[in-house]
């Protein structure tokens, strides 16, 4: 078993076995270095900032007035901040770590993430993003999964996250991040990239996302599919709760928006 660490960090709460900001994890995993925790926070913050910017840019590209675009940006920002505050509170108070409850709160949160991503893609915001932003940008934003996988691997090496959720184990999502950059550059440089190529990449990205989600779910205390020494509980603590609630949500909704964009006319002016 990976030894429990005793350092001071950002992660904590009732569910981690001590006062907020202190160290121990009931699953035997440490809370990680401050640098690791800030890595998760930074990626989540960048995604939220990009989403708020994209909401306004797509709105203006589709002919909305500056006032309407500004209102949409403010709504997106307020909802995103409220969402982060809510899930962080659930993590800090230990609610998400109550695996003995039926159903466990973390499973309910996972269902909310799946439903929320679907709703975002099907909403007016999803429509504006799909019609108002260049396809290269919609693809390129998924490149955040490359630095995310590097941070996740660091979480494994620091004893915070079980191995199977990193690319040293069975998580190959870094491929999506790397290929997103290459494909986005190709679309930007050569507008005639066949849409079937983009569709194939998008389906690959979805498959790799589903793969890690299944691994993460099978690694929870409900299943312990990889053994009791490789249990996924770190996502119930702040700031690691941002992994499913911001990063996974962004990846899932982003793929659905790309699918929606691929159904629009090829003419970039057809918003």
Give the pLDDT band (50/70/90) at residue 21: very low
Residue 244 clears pLDDT 80, i.e. is over it: yes
Range with the poorest average pLDDT among 77-86, 131-140, 183-192: 183-192
The count of domains in the chain is: 1
pLDDT digits (tens, 9 = 90+) for 66-115: 999 999 999 999 999 999 999 999 999 999 999 999 999 999 999 999 99
Judge whether 156 and 168 are in contact, CB under 8 Å.
yes
Give the pLDDT band (50/70/90) at residue 25: very low
3-class secondary structure per residue, the chain = CCCCCCCCCCCECHHHCCCCCCCCCCCCCCCCCHHHHHHHHHHHHHHHHHHHHHHHHHHHHCCCCHHHHHHHHHHHHHHHHHHHHHHHHHHHCCHHHCCCCCCCHHHHHHHHHHHHHHHHHHCHHHHHHHHHCCHHHHHHHHHHHHHHHHHHHHHHHCCCCCHHHCCCCCCCCHHHHHHHHHHHHHHHHCCCCCHHHHHHHHHHHHHHHHHHHHHHHHCCCCCCCCCCCCCCCHHHCECCCHHHHHHHHHHHHHHHHHHHHHCCCCCCCCC
Q: Quick one: pLDDT at residue 264?
A: 80
Give the pLDDT band (50/70/90) at residue 192: confident
Range with the poorest average pLDDT among 4-13, 120-129, 186-195, 226-235: 4-13
Q: Quick one: pLDDT at residue 22?
A: 31
Closest by CA to 217, choosing from 118, 114, 83, is 114
Q: Quick one: pLDDT at residue 7?
A: 33
Task: Indicate whether 132 belongs to any domain.
Answer: yes
Q: Quick one: pLDDT at residue 23?
A: 40
Task: Indicate whether 2 belongs to any domain.
Answer: no
Domain hosting 72: range is: 14-262
Q: Which two tokens stand for residue 196?
A: 């079937």
Q: What is the CA radius of gyration of the chain?
A: 19
Task: Indicate whether 188 belongs to any domain.
Answer: yes
Task: Indicate whether 145 belongs to any domain.
Answer: yes
pTM: 0.88
Task: Indicate whether 4 belongs to any domain.
Answer: no
Task: Indicate whether 268 belongs to any domain.
Answer: no
Q: Quick one: pLDDT at residue 29?
A: 47
Give the pLDDT band (50/70/90) at residue 28: very low
Task: Indicate whether 51 belongs to any domain.
Answer: yes
What is the pLDDT of the chain when averaged over all its residues? 89
Task: Indicate whether 3 belongs to any domain.
Answer: no
Distance of CA 205 to the CA centre of its chain: 13
Q: For residues 201-216, give the mean pLDDT.
A: 98
Q: For residues 201-222, give the mean pLDDT.
A: 97
């Amino acid at each position: 078993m990976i030894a429990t660490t005793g350092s001071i960090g950002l992660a904590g709460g009732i569910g981690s076995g001590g006062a907020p900001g202190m160290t121990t994890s009931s699953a035997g995993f440490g809370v990680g270095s401050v640098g690791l925790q800030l890595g998760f926070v930074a990626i989540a913050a960048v995604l939220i900032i990009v989403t708020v910017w994209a909401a306004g840019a797509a709105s203006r590209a589709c002919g909305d007035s500056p006032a309407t675009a500004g209102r949409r940006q403010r709504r997106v920002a307020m909802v995103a901040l409220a969402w982060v505050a809510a899930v962080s509170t659930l993590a800090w108070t230990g609610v998400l770590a109550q695996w003995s409850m039926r159903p466990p709160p973390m499973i309910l949160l996972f269902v909310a993430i799946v439903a929320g991503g679907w709703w975002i893609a099907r909403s007016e915001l999803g429509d504006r993003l799909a019609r108002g932003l260049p396809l290269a940008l919609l693809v390129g934003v998924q490149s955040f999964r490359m630095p995310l996988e590097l941070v996740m691997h660091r979480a494994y090496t620091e004893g915070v996250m079980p191995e199977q959720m990193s690319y040293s184990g069975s998580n190959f999502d870094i491929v999506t991040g790397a290929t997103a950059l290459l494909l986005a550059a190709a679309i930007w440089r050569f507008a005639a990239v066949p849409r079937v190529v983009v569709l194939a990449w998008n389906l690959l990205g979805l498959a790799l996302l589903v793969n890690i989600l299944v691994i993460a779910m099978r690694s929870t205390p409900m299943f312990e599919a990889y053994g009791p020494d490789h249990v996924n509980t770190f996502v119930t603590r702040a700031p690691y709760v941002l992994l499913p609630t911001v990063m996974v949500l962004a990846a899932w909704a982003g793929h659905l928006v790309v699918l929606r964009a691929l159904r629009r006319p090829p003419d970039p002016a057809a918003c």
